[in-house]
Structure 1
Amino acid sequence: MSELNKGMLYGTSAYFLWGFLPLYWPLISPPSSPFEVLLHRMIWSLAVTLVALLVQRNWGWIREVLRSPKRLLLLVLSAGVISANWGVFIVAVTTGHTLQSALAYFINPLVSVALGTLIFRERLRSAQWAAVALGTVAVVVLTVDYGSPPGLALALAFSFAAYGVLKKFVRLDGVESLTAETAVTFLPALGVVLFLESSGAGTFASVSPVHSLLLVGSGVVTAVPLMLFGAAAHRIPLTMLGLLQFIAPVMHFLIAWLIFREELSTGRWIGFALVWAALTVFVVDMLRQARRSARAAAQPESGTEPRAVAGAD
């Protein structure tokens, strides 16, 4: 199998696993509270990533991180942001709001683009502006339909986009970053879990062996897709990886609609249709820009004079 095909297999597997996550957390909560599930997710994710690093014998990056107070601070911030994202997602899918999780990861690319303009002063092409505008209109329509802003969706989208921004500065790969972030939260999470268990409020040892295994599995379902994603990122173009990312929210939407039977009013259909229109504009522009970049990169090799490629429409 070629490296490209391996990358496609790894990437597709990662996003399919992420797509099935809304089915996993309701198996645990209840009886565990979303907060207790989040604590176990922190603890067991670290265990899984440490095993991965042990197999890879990849420890050199730890020394570099410890020598940089700035990177340590960034890792603490990213640990807080991703923990909040995990917690909100668990709440969303265990309280009948899986549609909002789907909406979050549909609009996440648009939020990331908007943050790029604010933080990195990136210039948006006209098609990107159109996509962001359509996404904004969609949120307004859904706000009218819900009677209030879709808070869970916005919290998920903005927290994950902010996490992406922090990752740009931390400069660690997926497994290394997750190891560092869960190491930051490990002792507090373990302390709270031990307190819950000693006070009789915990569920790890008091429900059933299957329930305990599912809590341990929270680390597996968190870390394994991330490792597959890391393997894919090294083998396939970012454009292809960007297209694969829509697998997960499509699955979340179908799970919410067909399995959880969440209400899809006319207003929500219109809102999601606007989001999908925004993403269509976004993806078409992304593919067109990728082709332009490929042509520009190939021109010097062909012996012709390189021509300027427009940065904006």
Structure 2
Amino acid sequence: MPNSNKEATKGVVAMTIACLIWGFSPLYYKVLSHIPPLEILAHRTIWSFVIFAFVLFVQNRLPTLLKLFSSLKSVAVVAVAALMISGNWFAFIFSIQNGHAVEAALGYYIFPLVAVLLGKLLFGETLSKVQWSAVAMASVAVSLLTYGLGVAPWISLFVAASFGFYGVVKKRIDAGPVVSVTGEVALLVPIALGVLFMVHSRGDGHFGTAAWENSMLIFSGILTALPLMLFSYATQRNRLSTVGLLQYINPTAQFFCAVAIFGEPFGFWHALAFGLIWLGLALYSGSSLAQDRASRKNAVAL
């Protein structure tokens, strides 16, 4: 038992570090605001592939990666996942660079509730009354924000929906997180190289112009790969309910960056919407913890 507790603690530390990296990554993308989001996304794709492929090579797991491309159906599923995650990455980078970091944070707060709703609609998963209430609160929050600002929070909705559908597609990929993401970025690499070729052929490319820019663009690969590997490490050592609660560190840190560091506006309608989302997440998390305790008691009883 002591050893098990020690491993769980390591998992919590790993998950916390991963969420802090994700949460404070807006600071990195803000520094690169002079570089177009699509160019940054291309570099993020290429350099993360290099890192993931190297890790799999060292672990002698490259044959596992090749299995993802063993059939057209498998390639198609991985391609859809790649489309979802690249769209999510682009929206996030765009929002940070264009003063919409608050919306991005809201999107990642909404995501767990979107995932619950997708689970119900697509997989027939049952929802408790409390969980339905949490989903309803998210809907009301988005409606109020749309009314108050006069425009729907499209970035928030896209971030939440793209990440939610990404999770749906990932359930159909029979591979671990590192292997599957390596496959996804592998399919995106040719597109990324094409983007960079066009950008540099026009003389607008930023890679190779300054050492610090080169380093920052290469670092985008580390910024992508490291937290995902930490996430994988944590999920192997902790209950999903624990991992789920710790994930709220990510949008909370993003929210802090947006309001406290970037000085983005946060008015009455934002406060009302965020308040409802936070209340909904509290209810949802409490319900999930209760279900987790109940299932563990049943397992012990059996």
TM range (shorter): over 0.9
Q: Is the 8 A contact 1:104 1:153 kept in 2?
A: yes
Q: For residues 66 and 222 of structure 2, what CA distance do their matches in structure 1 show?
A: 26
Cα distance between partner residues in 2 of 1:95 and 1:170: 34
Q: Which amino acid aligns with 1:5?
A: T
Superposed displacement of residue 56, structure 1: 1.2
Is 1:64 aligned to residue 67 of structure 2? Answer: yes
2:9 pairs, out of 5, 17, 20, with 5
SS at structure 1 position matched to 2:172: helix
Spell out, residue by residue over 1:221-264, the C-alpha distance to the aligned partner (whole angstroms, 9 max, x if none): 01110011011111111110011100001111111111011111
TM-score by length of 1: 0.93
Match of 1:229 among 214, 228, 231: 231
Report the Cα distance in structure 1 between the residues aligned to 2:281 and 2:217, rounded to whole angstroms: 35
Amino acid at match of 2:19: Y
Corresponding residue for residue 17 of structure 1: 21
Which of 240, 251, 254 is residue 253 of structure 2 equivalent to? Answer: 251
Deviation at residue 197 of structure 1 after TM alignment? 1.4
> Displacement, 1:46?
0.3
- Rg bigger for which structure? 1
Report how far residue 204 of structure 1 moved: 0.9
Per the alignment, in what secondary structure is the counterpart of residue 106 of structure 1?
A: helix
C-alpha distance in structure 1 between counterparts of 2:46 and 2:255, whole Å: 29
Residue number in structure 2 paired with 1:271: 273
TM normalised by structure 2 equals 0.96
Report the counterpart of residue 199 of structure 1 in structure 2: 202
In 2, the alpha carbon distance for the partners of 1:93 and 1:192 equals: 21
2: CA distance between counterparts of 1:123 and 1:241? 21
Structure 1 CA distance for aligned equivalents of residues 280 and 135 of structure 2: 7
CA distance in 2, matches of 1:146, 1:253: 18
CA contact (8 A) 1:42 1:186 kept: yes
Query: How far off its partner does 1:101 sit?
Result: 0.9
Q: Deviations over 1:119-158 (max 9, x none)?
A: 1111211111000001100001111122111000000000
Of 171, 176, 195, the residue aligned with 2:174 is: 171
8 A Cα contact 2:45 2:185, kept in partner:
yes
SS of 1:140 mapped into structure 2:
helix
Distance 2:193 2:67 in 1: 26
Distance between the aligned counterparts of 1:57 and 1:80, measured in 2? Answer: 27
Cα distance change, pair 42–159 in 1 and its aligned pair in 2 (3 A): same
Instruction: Deviation per CA, 1:89-140: give whole Å up to 9, x if none.
Output: 0000111111011101111000001111111111211111000001100001
Distance 2:66 2:25 in 1: 34
Q: Percent identity among equivalent residues?
A: 39
Mapped to 1, the partners of 2:255 and 2:66 lie a distance apart of 42
Q: 1:62 deviation in Å?
A: 2.6
After the TM superposition, list the runs of 4 or more consecutive aligned residues in structure 1 that deviate by more than 3 angstroms: none
Q: Which amino acid aligns with 1:18?
A: W
Q: Which amino acid aligns with 2:223?
A: V
Are the aligned partners of 1:29 and 1:37 in contact in 2 as well (CA < 8 Å)?
no
Q: Which amino acid aligns with 2:77?
A: L
Q: Aligned residue for 1:46?
A: 49
Q: Measure, in 1, the Cα distance between the counterparts of 2:269 and 2:67.
A: 51
| SS of equivalent residue, structure 2 residue 206 | coil
Deviations 1:180-209 (A, max 9, x none): 011001012112212321320111122x11
- Greater Cα offset, 178-187 or 65-74: 65-74
1:100-139 aligned within 5 A: 100-139=103-142
Deviates more, 1:197-206 or 1:92-101: 197-206
Distance 2:32 2:214 in 1: 9
Contact 1:138 1:275 in 2 (8 A): yes
Q: Distance in 2 between matches of 1:13 and 1:68?
A: 36
- Structure 1, unmatched stretches of 5+, are 301-313
RMSD over aligned CA atoms reads: 1.1
Partners of 1:14 and 1:229 within 8 A in 2: yes
